[in-house]
Amino acid sequence: MASPRIIIRFVGRPASSAELLSTIINMVEETVFQTEYTDLIAALEELPEIPSVVRDAAIVRIDRYQGRSLQIEDATSGSIILIGAVAGLAYWILDKTLGETFKEAWVETPLHRKLKDFFLSRRKVKLEHIQRELRPEIRRYRYDRRRSMEVHTELRSVIEVERETLTVEVLDHDILPAPPTYDDALEPDHTKEV
């Protein structure tokens, strides 16, 4: 089963500002991280047999990975398209922390199977949660920055590869003109408005 994927498409202008790209990517990353944190807490509640020392360690460890729960795998030109996989951060942290506790026998324990089943069952719900949480974040950004932009999200499953994909399309209609590059600005016949 393939990792859930998030595609971020920036369309509407020939070039996008670094501010817009980094802000949207950070919003998506923060939303993904929050769903990972929520999944970690849910797993700890669902599986009371996880020792308390492991619970405490997992909560401390997940914070170290803030900013790393969306892994950019590919990018394309034209419309800027970034393709990222949702890292299985909460599962990975619990799996490694429990593995340190139980050593070699860990992968053969019933708890290991329950942990895997728990996280596998939450894959589609995770992207639905990301989609739901991302919309108000982007609306706030649009309002705070007075940006003229539209954001569409679409969640779909690709049955052939058993992969859920969330597409975030950012249509930038910013009212401020994009400043020219030096090449454009220094041309003798440059007449762009400011």
pLDDT digits (tens, 9 = 90+) for 130-149: 888 887 777 776 655 666 66
Q: How far apart are CA 67 and CA 33, in angstroms?
A: 7
Are the beta carbons of 86 and 8 closer than 8 angstroms? no
**Neighbour count for residue 56 (Cβ, 10 Å):** 12
| Phi and psi based region of residue 87 (left: phi greater than 0; alpha: psi -120 to 50; beta: remaining) | beta
How many alpha carbons fall within 13 Å on the CB side of residue 190?
12
Q: Label the pairing between strands 80-86 and 5-11.
A: antiparallel
Are the beta carbons of 172 and 14 closer than 8 angstroms? no
pLDDT digits (tens, 9 = 90+) for 11-27: 776 667 788 888 889 98
* pLDDT of 175 above 80: no
Q: Label the pairing between strands 70-76 and 163-172.
A: unpaired
* pLDDT of 60 above 90: yes
* pLDDT of 43 above 80: yes
pLDDT at 127: 84
Query: Residue 160: pLDDT band by 50, 70, 90 thresholds?
Result: low
Q: What is the pTM of this model?
A: 0.80
pLDDT digits (tens, 9 = 90+) for 72-127: 888 887 678 888 888 889 999 999 999 988 888 888 899 999 999 999 888 878 88
**DSSP state string for 5-52:** EEEEEEESSSS--HHHHHHHHHHHHHHHHHHHHHHHHHHHHH-TTS-H
User: What is the rounded average pLDDT of the residues 30-56?
Assistant: 94
Higher pLDDT, 175 or 91: 91
Query: Residue 159: pLDDT band by 50, 70, 90 thresholds?
Result: low
pLDDT at 9: 84
